[in-house]
């Protein structure tokens, strides 16, 4: 069995205003399966909310998958709205490695493009953990210094 490691989240603000006159707020949660097996289909989903209401019936909803460092090899999969404001795809990764997934959801005056990195295969998971821990220590070593 292989594990998937997921990173980062996404919140986007846009120019429209809500009922109180404040800018409308989009909240996005891109979800990657906790376990990914090479060659087996897994479900990826994104939740999109605008002012705490599901962003329903998007004009366009898709997920783009590619191996890290090789955007030219990207595969685009059309998503379906599995529940209000939740768009999902089933996709399989055929080789061990570190990948990126980006969901692209467009609605009336709204577009969100959250992206996450994940790993498939034990060696790739270890490599991703090392990459992220070295990035965190690098980020922490610069805190408070100019």
State the pTM of this model: 0.77
In a domain, 121, yes or no: yes
We report the CATH number of the domain holding residue 100 as 2.60.40.1930
Q: What is the distance between the alpha carbons of residues 114 and 103, in angstroms, rounded to a whole number?
A: 6
Give me the count of residues in the chain. 146
In a domain, 116, yes or no: yes
In a domain, 34, yes or no: yes
Q: What is the distance between the alpha carbons of residues 30 and 11, in angstroms, rounded to a whole number?
A: 10
Q: Are residues 102 and 114 in contact, defined by beta-carbon separation less than 8 angstroms?
A: yes
Predicted local confidence at residue 63, as pLDDT:
97
Predicted local confidence at residue 107, as pLDDT:
80
In a domain, 129, yes or no: yes
In a domain, 1, yes or no: no
Q: Which domain holds residue 131?
A: 10-140
Residue 104 has pLDDT above 90, yes or no: yes
Domain count across the chain: 1
Closest CA to 66 of 91, 39, 33, 29: 91
Q: What is the mean pLDDT of residues 53-61?
A: 90
Query: SS3 of 79, please?
Result: coil
In a domain, 4, yes or no: no
In a domain, 47, yes or no: yes
The pLDDT-based confidence of 8 (bands split at 50, 70, 90) is very low
In a domain, 65, yes or no: yes
């Amino acid at each position: 069995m292989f594990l998937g490691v997921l990173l980062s989240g996404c919140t986007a603000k846009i120019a429209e205003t809500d009922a109180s006159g404040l800018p409308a707020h989009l909240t996005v949660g891109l979800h990657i399966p906790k376990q990914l097996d090479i060659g087996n289909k897994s479900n990826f989903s994104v939740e999109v909310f605008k002012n705490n209401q599901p962003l329903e019936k998007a004009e366009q909803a898709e997920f783009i998958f590619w191996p890290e460092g090789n955007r030219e090899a990207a595969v685009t999969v059309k998503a379906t709205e599995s529940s209000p404001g939740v768009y999902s795809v089933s996709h399989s990764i055929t080789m061990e490695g570190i990948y990126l997934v980006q969901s692209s959801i467009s609605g009336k005056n709204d577009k969100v493009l959250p992206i996450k990195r994940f790993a498939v295969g034990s060696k790739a998971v270890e490599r991703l953990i090392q990459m992220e821990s070295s990035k965190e220590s690098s980020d922490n070593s610069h805190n408070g210094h100019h």
